[in-house]
Structure 1
Amino acid sequence: MTSTHLDRAVTPVPEGEVRLRAEGISLGYGARTIVEGLDLEVLPGAVTTVIGPNGCGKSTVLRALGRLLPARAGQVVLDGKRIDKTPTRDVAKVLGILPQSPAAPEGLTVGDLVARGRHPHQAWYRQWSGDDEEAVAEALAWTGLSDLADRPVDELSGGQRQRAWISMALAQQTDLMLLDEPTTFLDLAHQVDVLELVRRLQSEAGRTVVMVLHDLNLAARYADRLVAMKDGAIVAAGAPAEVITEEMLAEVFGLRARVIPDPVTGTPLVVPAAGPSLRPSR
């Protein structure tokens, strides 16, 4: 990639602190390559949010980090081991992933959905136990769904349904969580509700979270670290105030905008400017 002023915004992470990293990975589907030679390090105990325009490779990278998509080149390393060489059950005990728009079987209750998060801990010699029961109850309590455990998932509101899926990931009792657009199709109030939950999981339960978001202002408000992508490459990475700049918005999103302090949190707030975008017409 041609060097730009944005290159200086990429902040390295100290070697000893990284549990999950992508090293020179190339990714794609069929004959199409989407990501090539990408390096990414995930800060432990923090919320890292990946932003970028549609089709830039955000979800593709998240799938590779979660072992759902094998790398064509390079490798993903989890706790010092190549993730593609680690048994699936071992990965599932430390890393949980919530894909875009997951679907539950018709009639499945919230409690049964959350209980599925315990599957990595099951074996032929170890069936359902008191520990599993406790993990499910704790996950439901964290998401405020204890009273809805017997309700079918398909009867929940969008926000409740998303919290149910997060509960399943919590019941898995992993300390690394990957969330692919967890606020999709939710109204603003429910988006904030879900992201407040994510922040609590990080601050109170010590979870490390990597998520993909489209809303730049919510990403800036709830992330400790932002990763901005364009055309399958990382353009900038660091604290929200370092990444959300007018120059980055023009470079990555083709957006004319002002960046001002959020009056509530002081985090960067993107205010689109009047006039045409900087994107070439198609």
Structure 2
Amino acid sequence: MELVKVSQQIQGNEVLSGINLSFQRGGFYGIIGPNGVGKSTLLQLLAGTAQPVSGSVMLNGGEMSEIPRKHLARKLAVLQQGGLPPAGFTVREVVGMGRFPYQSWLGGEEDDPSSIIDEALEAMGLSGLQQRRLVQLSGGERQRVALAKLMVQQPSILLLDEPTTYLDIGYQIALLDIVKSWQRQKNLLVIAVLHDLNLAALYCDELIALHDGKVASKGEPAEVLTEQLIRELYGTGALIVSHPLTGAPQIMLQPGL
């Protein structure tokens, strides 16, 4: 997947400019940066839900805007910020909705998708909850349902917009462990907007730091997460240490007292 020369304007103000990025299948990319720098806008451009004012968004050499939406949904899935709202549908019904790109206009499929749905439910630890309604689930459980719904979509590209927001640390690790395992098994391209820099360093192969609508830094987590960059982006001091088990950079914040 390639993103070339993208700029986007909202209310007359340029949010992104001079963006030139490429994303390869099999990679896990994290988009980081302070609030208001264009992280979600970049994800919207990649998802095809927003169009660049200039430049283009290319998928396998073709303009993404020219790909029919239903066909695109077989290649690309998006986990929206905040996940699924409480609703009266059962877990299995919601997960099954992910098969929409493969259904005819009558709502059926040529082959029975039950095994695909069962596999996703099991992978997300939801088999025992499949007849429960979403209104009966916690926020973390609904987030797992949302991810299972994407699994049955069988995409090759997965876009995540702050997937760990509102989750406690146990659910954050569990969710990203599942995404990482899924990515490796299916050779997915994963692009995630992440606020937690320590999680980004633990799970992402490459980080893209945005600042003032431009790419401030790009590379492996150890190359991007420096004390100087943290101060430039977030205006705060930090000490960078290596994780004792993985070697990934981890940030220790310094109080400004």
Task: Report the TM-score, using the length of structure 2 for normalisation.
Answer: 0.95
Q: Is the 8 A contact 2:83 2:142 kept in 1?
A: no
1:118, 1:177 → 2: CA distance? 15
The separation in 1 between residues aligned to 2:110 and 2:131, in whole angstroms, is: 19
Greater shift after overlay, 140-149 or 99-108? Answer: 99-108
Q: Which residue of 1 aligns with 2:251?
A: 270
Structure 2 letter corresponding to 1:46:
G
Partner of 1:121: 102
- 74, 83, 92: which one aligns with 2:64: 83
TM alignment of 1:9-28, pairs within 5 A = 20-28=1-9
Query: Contact (CA 8 Å) 1:37, 1:74: kept in 2 or not?
Result: no
**Number of residue pairs the alignment of both structures matches:** 257
Secondary structure of residue in 2 paired with 1:135: helix
SS of 1:119 mapped into structure 2: helix
Unaligned runs of 5+ in 1: 1-19, 277-282
Q: Indicate the RMSD between aligned Cα atoms, in angstroms.
A: 1.6
Residue 129 (structure 1) shift: 4.9
2:142 to 161, 171, 189: 161
2:161 to 180, 194, 198: 180
1:231-270 map, 5 Å: 231-270=212-251
Question: Is residue 84–residue 142 contact of structure 2 (8 Å, CA) maintained in 1?
Answer: no
The Cα of 1:255 is off from its aligned counterpart by: 2.0
Q: For residue 113 of structure 2, give the secondary structure of its aligned residue in structure 1.
A: helix
State whether structure 2 residue 191 is matched by structure 1 residue 213. Answer: no
* Cα distance, 1:199 vs structure 2: 1.0
Q: Cα offset for 1:189?
A: 1.1
Instruction: Report if aligned partners of 2:84, 2:143 keep a CA contact under 8 Å in 1.
Output: no
Distance across 1 between alignment mates of 2:232 and 2:33 = 11
SS state at 1:27 partner: strand
Q: Do the aligned partners of 1:34 and 1:57 also contact (CA within 8 Å) in 2?
A: yes
- Give the C-alpha shift of residue 30 in structure 1: 3.0
Cα distance in 1 between the residues matched to 2:104 and 2:29: 33
Whole-Å Cα distance in 2 between the matches of residues 40 and 170 of structure 1?
Answer: 26
Which of 186, 206, 222 aligns to 1:225? It is: 206
Of stretches 175-184 and 34-43 in structure 1, the one that deviates more from structure 2 is 34-43
Deviates more, 1:150-159 or 1:168-177: 150-159
Corresponding residue of 1:55: 36
In 1, Cα distance between the equivalents of 2:24 and 2:233? 23
Q: Does 1:198 align with 2:184?
A: no
Which consecutive unaligned segments of at least 5 residues does structure 2 have?
Answer: none
CA shift for structure 1 position 126:
7.1
**Alpha-carbon distance in structure 1 between the residues aligned to 2:189 and 2:118:** 21
- Letter of the 2:91 counterpart: V
Give 1:161's aligned amino acid. Answer: R
1:146 aligns with 2:124: no
Q: Residue type matched to 2:152 in 1? A: A
In the TM superposition, residue 125 of structure 1 has moved relative to its aligned partner by 6.8
Please state whether the residue corresponding to 1:237 is helix, strand or coil: strand
Shift of 1:207: 1.8
CA contact (8 A) 2:84 2:146 kept: no
